[in-house]
Amino acid sequence: MARRRRKTNQFSPALVLLLFAIGLFLASLSLVAMSPNADQVAGAQFFVAKVQSVPWCADNDGGMNIVQQGTCRAGTINPKTDFCLSSVDLNEFSCGSRGCINTIFDCRTEGYQECYNGACTNTTSNTHLECILNRCVVVNGTGTNQCSPQGSYCTNSTTPDLTVLSLSISGNTTVNVTAVIKNIGNATIINASTTSFILKQVPANISFSDYFTLPIPFAPGQQVTYIRGYFLPYGAQWSLVVTADAFNTVIESNEFNNQQIQNFST
């Protein structure tokens, strides 16, 4: 008896070639979609060439404004603030084509009386310039300018000098302490300073501490009086130490006359 042969599925060579051709076509379409065309590349190059750093400038007083102090800022350059070169001359900053520029004005020719605090004004300022700690600073009160311009370095430096001019104690168990602090130097004090009262019982370890802030500015010849009352027990010994510029915040011509000590009993 003859054996029947099993049939198998076979692809013809023509079908295999057709499928291969279709695969290549689809692959080429995918590559085209992923790659930029010539126009896209050229456009990207053109865009990069147009990116530039654009300078900017701003003046918070609105520009060339001589009656208001302002500050000009341009890019990363340090800001420039209007300031007085003298009692009548103003250095005004404003925005120019390449950043901040400065222009010098004589306030008198602009119809104003003086330059004060970085602006031309008709209001009498009652201030003057003093050389304090080698720096030219504006001080309240009338006087002759010792230096110019404001903020500049100066060498004819003067210094203040605080002293406890007088110290008095009155009363028995109700004790009133009066201290007078005076600037006997030749320069105005413009930074904060503190006067201290330290009262201690001797030999017991009982103490009281009080602090008074100096009025600023404190001109040469100016003095201030501080008064403090204490309720103390009868029959005790006390020591009172009054110190001007207790925290040493003021550089003085004499640092050894800032203190007075008085001992008393109740």
Q: What pLDDT sits at residue 254?
A: 87
Q: Which long-range contacts (CB under 8 A, 24 or more apart) does 99-107 make?
A: 99/55, 99/57, 99/74, 99/75, 100/57, 100/59, 100/72, 100/73, 100/74, 103/64, 105/66, 107/66
Give per-residue pLDDT as tens, 242-257: 999 999 988 888 889 9
pLDDT tens-digit profile of 121-136? 876 557 777 787 778 8
**Structural domains present in the chain:** 57-123 (no CATH), 126-158 (no CATH), 162-265 (2.60.40.10)
- Which of 249, 253, 256, 139 has the alpha carbon at shortest distance from 194? 249
Judge contact between 85 and 91, C-beta under 8 A.
yes
Nearest partner of 225 among 255, 247, 197, 192, judged by Cα: 197
What was the pLDDT predicted at 36?
Answer: 54
Residue 261 · residue 239 · CB < 8 Å: yes
Alpha helices in 35-144 (DSSP H): 38-50
List average pLDDT for each run of 10 residues in the chain, which is 266 residues long. Answer: 51 66 65 52 48 70 88 84 90 90 90 84 71 78 72 78 95 91 91 93 87 91 95 91 94 90 93
Question: Does the pTM of the predicted model rise above 0.75?
Answer: no
